[in-house]
């Protein structure tokens, strides 16, 4: 059997340039690896190609079991397998999945059309998926691709995974692919849901009709399940969009309710303050009425003998001072009004009018300032009086 034509291999510098180019891409065409792992991925691939030049780094489309397709790095080529004193080359593809190197890669045996995967095999599934203890016990960051291939070579040398389909015996010596053999380019995946990234395998001459029927039935079931999954996913996405819209409406209503609640709380506080002012004024008026009840009775008995100026009496010095200031303020207002009328009638010269108004305004200002100070002092005295009567008051503080 003549080996298939080999593809030209890249030298070390070309591999470095290729990896630097694909790992530095940004935007939609960038590879789905995290930025902190790209340097380690580059080192792993450089070490692998330096140890095993027959493996070449490439980028290709990988199809996950859920139907997602993603562009990933792969190491495609052959690895040496010593068997009964002869070294054979086993074609494999090592896929570096998105979570690499924290999680192990996905490895497939890539047989040619003249080769068949041995069934059953302890480490290779019928679809070509490889599983060895080193993959199952992958430890980041100590595990790497070079040690992985070394373990592949050791495992395959004890039990070769491939045999020629022209032989009827399932356990003959594995074929020699040639020292420079490279696997053919991956075939285009068939429509639907492929069991592996390489599409469906063509039925060989050694497989019976029952095996082909079973494989086709399995593939059909997988395609149906895949279609149902896509349909359910679209339905769930539409449902999630509706829930997100409802969530946005609820959040807006929550903001409006919180705003209204805050306004009501502020209004409640303002009303409570006004209530306190009303209660204070009521207390002051009630006290004044109690203090002046006797005077009202006396006025009723002696209406003819009471002078109008003696009806009201100031209770203290501050009240007397407030009364004097207020009376003087109002008297000055009357004088200024009379001067305005006299000026309009021409009875008072204009310069005399200005001089008198200036003097009266200055005097009125002092009376108003004094009244403001007296009012503040009276307010403090009222607060102190209410505080002293608070334990005996019927009103809430």
pLDDT at 261: 94
pLDDT at 309: 64
User: Could you tell me the two tokens for 371?
Assistant: 């009244």
Q: How many CA atoms lie within 13 A of 348 on its CB side?
A: 18
| Alpha-carbon span 180 to 8, nearest angstrom | 10
| Alpha-carbon span 214 to 305, nearest angstrom | 130
With CA atoms as reference, report the closest residue to 179 among 46, 50, 6. Answer: 6
Which residue intervals of the chain are DSSP H helices? 12-23, 35-51, 133-136, 145-158, 209-301, 317-345, 350-389
pLDDT at 177: 46
| Alpha-carbon span 118 to 121, nearest angstrom | 6
| Alpha-carbon span 29 to 22, nearest angstrom | 9
Cβ–Cβ < 8 Å for 175, 1: yes
Cis peptide before 349 (omega within 30 of 0): no
With 0-12 / 13-18 / 19 or more C-beta atoms within 10 angstroms meaning exposed / middle / buried, residue 260 is exposed
State the angle between helix axes of 350-389 and 317-345 in degrees (0 to 180), rounded to the nearest 10: 160
| Alpha-carbon span 129 to 297, nearest angstrom | 115
Predicted TM-score (pTM) of this structure: 0.43
pLDDT digits (tens, 9 = 90+) for 291-314: 777 766 666 565 556 566 666 677
The Cα-based distances of 392 to 18, 183, 389, 397 in angstroms read 94, 104, 6, 11
Cβ–Cβ < 8 Å for 93, 107: yes
| Alpha-carbon span 35 to 354, nearest angstrom | 87
> Which regions of the chain are under pLDDT 70?
1-10, 165-208, 295-312, 389-397
Residue with tokens 């009328």: 341
Could you give the strand order of the β-sheet that contains 86-96, starting from the edge strand earlier in sequence? Answer: 56-63, 69-83, 86-96, 106-109
| Alpha-carbon span 116 to 166, nearest angstrom | 10
pLDDT digits (tens, 9 = 90+) for 32-43: 898 888 889 999
Q: Is 70 strand, coil or helix?
A: strand
Please give the span between the terminal C-alpha atoms of the chain, in angstroms, as a whole number.
109
| Alpha-carbon span 272 to 43, nearest angstrom | 74
| Alpha-carbon span 168 to 266, nearest angstrom | 93
pLDDT at 112: 81
| Alpha-carbon span 257 to 357, nearest angstrom | 59
């Amino acid at each position: 059997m003549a080996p298939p034509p080999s593809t030209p291999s890249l030298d070390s510098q070309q591999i470095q340039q290729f990896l630097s180019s694909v790992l530095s891409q940004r935007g939609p065409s960038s590879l789905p690896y995290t930025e902190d792992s790209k340097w380690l991925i580059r080192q792993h691939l450089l070490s692998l190609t330096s140890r095993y030049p027959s493996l070449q780094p490439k980028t290709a489309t990988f199809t996950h079991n859920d139907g997602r397709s993603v562009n990933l790095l792969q190491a495609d080529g052959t690895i040496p397998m010593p068997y009964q004193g002869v070294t054979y080359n086993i074609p494999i593809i090592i896929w570096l999945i998105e979570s690499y190197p924290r999680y192990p890669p996905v490895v497939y045996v890539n047989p040619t059309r003249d080769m068949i995967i041995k069934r059953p095999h302890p480490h290779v599934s019928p679809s070509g998926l490889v599983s060895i203890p080193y993959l199952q016990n992958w430890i980041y960051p100590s595990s790497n691709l070079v040690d992985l291939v070394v373990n592949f070579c050791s495992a395959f040398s004890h039990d070769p995974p491939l045999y020629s389909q022209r032989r009827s015996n399932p356990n003959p010596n594995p074929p020699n692919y040639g020292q420079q053999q490279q696997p053919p380019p991956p075939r285009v995946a068939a429509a639907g849901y492929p069991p592996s990234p390489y599409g469906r395998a063509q039925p060989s001459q050694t497989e019976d009709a029952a095996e082909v029927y079973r494989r086709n039935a399995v593939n059909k079931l997988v395609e149906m399940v895949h279609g149902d999954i896509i349909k359910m996913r679209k339905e769930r996405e539409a449902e999630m969009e509706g829930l997100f819209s409802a969530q946005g409406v609820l959040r807006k209503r929550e903001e409006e309710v919180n705003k209204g609640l805050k306004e009501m709380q502020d209004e409640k506080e303002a009303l409570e303050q006004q209530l306190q002012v009303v209660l204070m004024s009521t207390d002051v008026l009630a006290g004044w009425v109690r203090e002046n009840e006797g005077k009202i009775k006396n006025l009723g008995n002696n209406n003819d003998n009471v002078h109008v100026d003696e009806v009201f009496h100031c209770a203290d010095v501050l009240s007397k001072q407030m009364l004097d200031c207020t009376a003087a303020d109002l008297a000055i207002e009357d004088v200024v009004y009379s001067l305005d009328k006299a000026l309009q009638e021409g009875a008072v010269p204009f310069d005399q009018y200005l001089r008198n108004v200036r003097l009266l305004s200055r005097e009125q200002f002092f009376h108003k300032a004094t009244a403001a100070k007296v009012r503040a002092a009276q307010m403090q005295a009222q607060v102190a009086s209410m505080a002293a009567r608070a334990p005996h008051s019927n009103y809430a503080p």
